[in-house]
Amino acid sequence: MVCWWSSSPACFRGAYREHIRKKMNIPNVNHYIHAYKIAPWRIQRQWIGNVLLAVVALAMVAALYLNITSRTAIAGREIQDLTYSITVSQQVSGDLQTQLASLTSASAMDHRARELGFRPMETDEMEYLIVPGYSAPQPYILVSAPHLQLSALTIPPQYNQSLLDWMDEKISPSRGQQ
């Protein structure tokens, strides 16, 4: 819209807007409104596209949630299986310790020794051997050393002085000079 023949401000503003629109390649809004009025299916296609986009986004979130949930369930089941195997191992270990205790008990050892032809030793059958150079190991003394008590006499006097005593000592000579 160019009106070279008129000098009205409205004509000038319209021409200026048209000039700016052409220069900046701004599309005409009326063109789009007219296109949508002619083909309303374009709006419907946009709505359908937006709805499908939302459905796809929700499906992706649901798939991610399902994936995380299934991984958590699998990890929980593995923890249960490992806990069960630990319990079984502890029971087997306890059974083996019980068997070992019954096999090494004094009565079981005495019974097996008698079956093999051994008998209890008499006191006149004992013979002691002295091994030259052998010294018996010294027992460990587990008694702790007595705790030393610090008395006031063992602490130097500069460490017995409190902050107030020190301040009094520093202030009192200055009082005598006044």
The tens digit of pLDDT for each residue in 153-171 reads: 566 666 777 888 888 888 8
Assigned token pair, 163: 């902050």
Look at residue 162 in the predicted model and tell me its pLDDT: 80
Is 172 a residue whose pLDDT tops 80?
A: yes
Look at residue 109 in the predicted model and tell me its pLDDT: 93
Look at residue 46 in the predicted model and tell me its pLDDT: 84
Is 38 a residue whose pLDDT tops 80?
A: no
Look at residue 2 in the predicted model and tell me its pLDDT: 47
| C-alpha distances in Å from residue 31, one per residue of 28, 36, 37 | 5, 9, 10
Q: Which residues contact 136 (CB under 8 A, 6 or more apart)?
A: none
Report CA 170 to chain centroid distance, whole Å: 57
Look at residue 80 in the predicted model and tell me its pLDDT: 95
Tens-place pLDDT, residues 88-128 = 999 999 999 999 999 999 999 999 999 999 998 888 888 88
Tell me what the mean pLDDT of segment 37-61 comes to.
86
Average pLDDT over all residues of the chain: 80
% residues pLDDT > 90 (the chain): 42
* Integer Cα distance of 51 and 55 in angstroms: 6
Look at residue 47 in the predicted model and tell me its pLDDT: 87
What is the value of pTM for the model shown? Answer: 0.41
| C-alpha distances in Å from residue 145, one per residue of 80, 116, 148, 152, 155 | 51, 52, 9, 22, 22
Is 58 a residue whose pLDDT tops 50?
A: yes
Residue closest to 62 by CA, chosen among 70, 51, 50, 72: 70
Higher pLDDT, 4 or 78: 78
